[in-house]
Amino acid sequence: MSMRVLLFASVGLVSACARMPIEDGRKVGPLVQVKDSFTSCFLLEYRPKRVAFFDACFNDSGRAVSKALEQRGLTPASVDAVFLSHGHSDHLGGLGMLSQASVYALAAERALVAEAGAAVNISLQDGDAVSLGDYTVHVYAVTGHTDGSAVYEVDGVLLMGDTVIAQKDGSLAPPPERYSDSPAENDASVRALVGRLDDAGVEVEWVAPSHSGPVRGSKALRSF
């Protein structure tokens, strides 16, 4: 485990009282939030017995991923795709047990993922759309936390990675500055995302960060 992740965990413990709590197994639109220590990943069963994950949770054992699959009568072989929000190691833990899945990330994030000992099979570009059964994954580059941080929109759910953290009062806060490559760029990218979503006609039902529970609607994002 990297020192950066350990520090993020320790800060998370201190600030957890202010954050929207992560509820393991919570439905967020068509997705399910999977809690793993101080962070989470998201599961989408996009057709019967076929799954995509958004990030791969934290623990290298993959136990959170494995548990979420077992609870639904699924196995690692059911997972066809993993979409990475970025390449920090606390989002890659379950990749080792999902070796058959295609791993997607923005092209700019390939090197950081490789530094963490994982690999991207399919490089994405800002504005890409990936079909999964009846769902479409829309890709938005929201840089600053890392050079290749991505937000994914699926059926009105924004999977925000580490670009924001939801608070108990329903607002959104940026991640601690020490963990972002460029905090100012991260915040500007999040604010710019609102206009891009409006231009695309996206009706935001949920804003779902990795390190907190989700918030409904777009109000908090517009107020960021």
CA 97 – CA 119 distance, rounded (Å): 13
Tens digits of per-residue pLDDT, 162-202? 999 999 999 999 999 999 999 999 999 999 999 999 999 99
Structure tokens at 110: 């390939």
Tens digits of per-residue pLDDT, 27-86? 999 999 999 999 999 999 999 999 999 999 999 999 999 999 999 999 999 999 999 999
CATH number of domain containing 166:
3.60.15.10
pLDDT, residue 8, reads 55
Q: Give the domain extent around 118.
A: 3-222
Q: In this structure, what DSSP letter does residue 200 have?
A: H
Q: Burial, 150: exposed, middle or buried (Cβ in 10 Å; 0-12, 13-18, 19+)?
A: buried
Domain tally for the chain? Answer: 1
pLDDT, residue 17, reads 75
For the chain, the straight-line distance linking the first and the last C-alpha, in angstroms and rounded, comes to 31
- In what side-by-side order are the strands of the sheet with 26-28? 26-28, 31-36, 39-47, 50-54, 79-83, 102-106, 122-124
Strands 215-216 and 26-28: unpaired
